[in-house]
Amino acid sequence: MTMYKLREYGLLEFLDVVSPRQASKEDILSAHSPYLYDLVRELSRFERGEAGSSSFTSKDTFRLACLAAGGAIEAVEAIMEGRCRRSLALIRPPGHHAGQGHTSGLCFFNNVAVAVKRLQRRGIRKVLILDVDSHPGDGTAQIFYSDPSVLVLSFHEYDQEVAGAGWLDENGYGEGEGYTVNVPLPLGIRGKPYLWVFERVFHGVAEWFRPDFIVVSLGLDTHYADPIGNLFLQALDHAEITGHVLSVADEFCKGRVSFILEGGYSLLALPLSVAAVISRIVDSKIEYYDRIERGGAPPQSLKRLVTSLLDRIGSYTCP
Ligand SMILES: [Zn+2]
């Protein structure tokens, strides 16, 4: 449906569409334990299995998970080889909940982490991973928790009543302390207050960290129609988030940015949101049919959140 929507909007003509290859075992093991690799491969010999929390497998799982990771690698390689300045990987299954040794939440291999490990092997010194999925990039944070050369910045819904990942005071460990930044947002937040927080924190973090490359965990389950996410963004908001990412990438890392698809489970909303992101990347306009009220000025609680995050970032020494 997404490709159909991109064709309908005339966006495909702006793109070089590339089919990825499966990631190699070496690539998967750059971010994951041999145990996890073997677990996903062996379970995929059966019609049905369960590799971990909400991570159900079928006979296609291992092949598709390797293909998704290969798609993320292709996205960053296309930029490293000079074939483009910006790229987007339309892949499934998602990856950002998968940690070094565990699967979780529909994620088997962490596509973004595998791609960032490739960038590190290619000599890229500092990578900023921006996670805008409705849920925290907890697997990604775990993999890079003590690595100061990879900053993981995650904006996500946060339910005060339910214990979960993505707390404000998860900041990294050892040499990596300060290089995990969580931005927990209230359930139901709408576009304008979200963007108010997003622009300030993202720009502040990028200005402090000065990345050489930005990789975006592009979760689009922040759309109000999504059956899993609990935020109230719309496709126009996804376009505006994208526009801000592009301008920050232009400002700090020569425009080098790869968008890697994560969540997004509404078959009506996801194609429109992907089209919105791509329309901003290729600087083309599309019609939106999902318009809702975008909210108003941010409440004091969000202003305090932004102030405390930026103060905390300023208290660390930049690498
Ligand atoms: Zn999600």
55 Cα–ligand 1 center, Å: 13
Torsion 118-124-130-135 (CA) sign: positive
Task: Indicate the DSSP class of residue 191.
Answer: H
246 in Cβ contact with 280 (< 8 Å): yes
314 Cα–ligand 1 center, Å: 29
Tally Cβ neighbours within 10 Å of residue 223: 27
182 Cα–ligand 1 center, Å: 15
Mean pLDDT score across all residues of the chain: 96
Residue 158 pLDDT > 90: yes
Higher pLDDT, 211 or 164: 211
pLDDT of residue 75: 98
In this prediction, residues 197-218 reach a mean pLDDT of: 98
CATH of segment(s) 2-314: 3.40.800.20
Burial 252-285, CB ≥16 within 10 A → b, else e: bbebbbbbbbbbbbbeebbbbbbbbbbbbbeeee
* Interatomic CA distance for residues 98 and 223, integer angstroms: 22
Q: Can you read off the two tokens belonging to residue 19?
A: 């089919």
pLDDT tens-digit series, residues 115-127:
999 999 999 999 9
pTM assigned to the model: 0.98
Higher pLDDT, 160 or 221: 221
Residue 131 pLDDT > 90: yes
82 Cα–ligand 1 center, Å: 31
277 Cα–ligand 1 center, Å: 17
pLDDT bin (cut points 50, 70, 90) of residue 208 is very high
Task: Indicate the DSSP class of residue 165.
Answer: S
pLDDT of residue 314: 79
* Interatomic CA distance for residues 139 and 143, integer angstroms: 6
CA dihedral 218, 222, 223, 226 (to 10 degrees): 100
pLDDT of residue 284: 96
Helix-helix angle 191-209:300-314, to 10 degrees: 10
pLDDT of residue 134: 97
Whats the size of the chain, residue-wise? 319
pLDDT bin (cut points 50, 70, 90) of residue 164 is confident
Residue 25 pLDDT > 90: yes
pLDDT bin (cut points 50, 70, 90) of residue 316 is confident
**Where exactly are the structural domains of the chain?**
2-314
Residues 6+ apart with CB under 8 A from 231: 134, 157, 185, 187, 188, 189, 194, 222, 223, 224
167 Cα–ligand 1 center, Å: 16
Residue 163 pLDDT > 90: no
pLDDT bin (cut points 50, 70, 90) of residue 224 is very high
pLDDT of residue 319: 63
What residues sit around ligand 1, an ion, with C-beta below 5 angstroms? 133-135, 219, 221, 263
Residue 38 pLDDT > 90: yes
pLDDT tens-digit series, residues 272-312:
999 999 999 999 999 999 999 999 999 999 999 999 999 99
* Active-site residue, from 32, 96, 97, 156: 97
Burial of 94 (0-12, 13-18, 19+ CB in 10 A): buried
| Whether residue 97 lies in the annotated active site | yes
For every residue of 51-117, DSSP letters joined together read EEBTEEE-TTHHHHHHHHHHHHHHHHHHHHTTS-SEEEE--SS--TT--SS--BTTBSS-HHHHHHH
